[in-house]
Amino acid sequence: MSDIEEFNKFDLSDLASINMGSLRSDSTRKHAVCRYKKGVRKEQRRGPIDVNRIDLHPFVLSKRWENYARYLLFHEYIHALGFSNHGPSFRALDSKWPNSDDRDLGKRFYLYLLKRNGKWIWRCRKCDFYSLRTVRCNGRYLCGKCMSVLIDVPNHLGSKEAQDFGVSLT
């Protein structure tokens, strides 16, 4: 990041001390998140000092996805510098990542997760809870949030649908 001219005007030294955490491994669309400290409003975000943690998807840390992991960290670091949304200034910085192919790995990683995380979605009908699984729940399990019986929904998003679906980086 420090090799890229556009970042010269930022103090990057505090980025390395940001705590790193992990997203739920059954997350499919979310691959990384920059979490600000509680009580820091959007317009108050100054930089790494206001960041609580950056979470990465645990599966992105494997050798196979290391290029994508590097890009994700770069992307979240820009959020950590105080750019909380994906507005024009954010996009201008994000576009400086030297290998634009790495950004496209998001779609492939998403498809990999769908495949890896299973064919079934255990879904709660009452709240927004869901979990991707390799086996059916057959009505045997309750939602951990609201205690309703979970139902099985087939997870058959094809690659075409997944592409249309897009992948959100947050």
Helix, coil or strand: residue 144: coil
Of the residues 129, 137, 141, 152, which one makes contact with Zn ion according to CB under 5 A = 129
Under the criterion CB under 5 A, does residue 145 sit at the interface with Zn ion? yes
What angle, 0 to 180 degrees and rounded to 10, lies between the N-to-C axes of helices 101-117 and 66-80? 110
- 156, 116, 151: which is closest to 136 by C-alpha? 151
- Which range in 3-11, 38-46, 57-65, 136-144 contacts Zn ion by CB under 5 A? 136-144
Phi, psi of 100 (to 5 degrees): -65, -20
Question: On the CB side of 151, how many CA atoms lie within 13 Å of its CA?
Answer: 7
Under the criterion CB under 5 A, does residue 130 sit at the interface with Zn ion? no
Residue whose CB is less far from Zn ion, 42 or 160:
42
Residue whose CB is less far from Zn ion, 81 or 124:
124
- Which range in 22-30, 59-67, 100-108, 122-130 contacts Zn ion by CB under 5 A? 122-130
The two tokens of residue 62 are: 């494997």
Under the criterion CB under 5 A, does residue 124 sit at the interface with Zn ion? yes
Residues that bind Zn ion (CB under 5 A): 124, 126-127, 129, 143, 145-146, 148, 169
